[in-house]
Amino acid sequence: MVLFIIVVVLAWHAGLRDVLSVTYLRSARVQLLAFIRAHHAPAAVLFVIIYVGVCAATLPVTAVMMFAAGVLFGFREGLALTLVGATCGAGAAFLVSRHLLGSWLQRRFAAQLAAFNREFAAHGDRKSVV
């Protein structure tokens, strides 16, 4: 987890914040649109992969990414790409937090989670669906 935080901080300070901005999108719009026209499917897949990473890392640039999707791919396709990316990113964030932080949280907050764990063990199959 510490390694992940270090990578995000380094990427952010190395210029990621400049690339993921409305100003950069405005200045590179023509080149990005030309690239998307020439390589539409790979560009869409690349966008979704980047969006998944941004959502999974909970970086505060998802609004810019949604705006970029609409500008670069159009409303309908941009909406579809961001929905897929956000859903996969949220799932990835859940899985990372569950598997990397789950045992630590259980140890750290054992007293506070005791009643929840008992209830979930007894009725988890019914309560997790709701």
**Taking all residues of the chain, what is their mean pLDDT, rounded to a whole number?**
83
- Give residue 40's identity as a one-letter amino acid code: H
pLDDT at 19: 65
| Token pair 């990414």 in the structure block, residue | 65
User: Higher pLDDT residue, 80 or 115?
Assistant: 80
- Reported as a pLDDT band with limits 50, 70 and 90, residue 130 is very low
What residue segments make up the domains of the chain, in order of their start? 2-127
pLDDT above 60 (res 59): yes
| Token pair 């309560």 in the structure block, residue | 127
pLDDT above 80 (res 1): no
Phi, psi of 20 (to 5 degrees): -95, 60
How many residues does this entry show for the chain? 130
Q: What percent of the chain has pLDDT over 90?
A: 33
